[in-house]
Amino acid sequence: MLLDKFVIFDLDGTIIKENSAWEMLHKHFKVDPSIVEKNKELYEKKIIDVDRWIEMDIKLWKNPHKKTIEDVLKKYTLIEGIKEFVEYLKKRGFILGIVSSGIDILAEKVADELGIDICYSNSLIFDEKGFLIGGKGNVDLLRKKEIAKNLSEKFKIPLKNFIIIGYTGYDMIDGVGIKIALNPKEKLDADYT
């Protein structure tokens, strides 16, 4: 029976133990963390948009092949109990989705593994030979609420019937029914921690 409830999960640091698919790749490609932090600051100050931020970050990897990226991103660990929790919610009729500012390759793999049908994340773009040539910012870290509103309209479920589960302030969307902070690294505006 459908309960007219929607659960939005963040991915990195929430469903998987790793805090960021981007960090996984930056570490693998030995990117200088100070450059990554400068790029993030430009984005957070709204000097650049999410597409430009992605473009600047992926240029630091020097056009790797898709297989290399897949190999790095397949080394994730699900948090303990997440499979059972997702099954519990599905059996009770909740609609489940992942909304992640992470990377599609990882988000879609995890969504498939857990049987979560709705997945929004940022895309990497590859040429016909499989080399990375760009990216698309489908999930703007600062605008996750817009995706929640779109899902609310699409499924005709009021935003107050949404539950959001994440671990950063970016995940704690105003207007949803319940905000759950899972293993937050800072104090968040959440209903439950």
pLDDT in tens, 25-55: 999 999 999 999 999 999 999 999 999 999 9
The DSSP element (H or E) to which 17 belongs, if any, is none
pLDDT averaged over the chain? 94
CA–CA separation, 109 vs 83, rounded Å? 14
Note the pLDDT of residue 142: 86
The pLDDT of residue 108 is above 80: yes
Note the pLDDT of residue 64: 98
The pLDDT of residue 1 is above 50: no
Is the separation of the CB atoms in 156 and 149 below 8 Å?
Answer: no
Note the pLDDT of residue 191: 84
pLDDT in tens, 173-187: 888 999 998 878 788
pLDDT band of residue 189 (cuts 50, 70, 90) is confident
Cα distances from 53 to residues 30, 72, 169, in angstroms, run 18, 21, 19
For the chain, percent of residues with pLDDT exceeding 70: 98
The pLDDT of residue 2 is above 70: no
CA–CA separation, 89 vs 102, rounded Å? 23
pLDDT in tens, 130-158: 999 999 999 998 889 999 999 999 999 99
The pLDDT of residue 3 is above 80: no
pTM, whole model, 2 decimals? 0.92
Q: What is the mean pLDDT of residues 122-129?
A: 98
Note the pLDDT of residue 28: 98
6-181, CATH topology level: Rossmann fold (3.40.50)
CA–CA separation, 16 vs 116, rounded Å? 14
Q: Show the 3-state SS of 73-108.
A: HCCCCECCCHHHHHHHHHHCCCEEEEEEEEEHHHHH
Name which of 148, 125, 142 is nearest 64 in CA terms.
Answer: 125
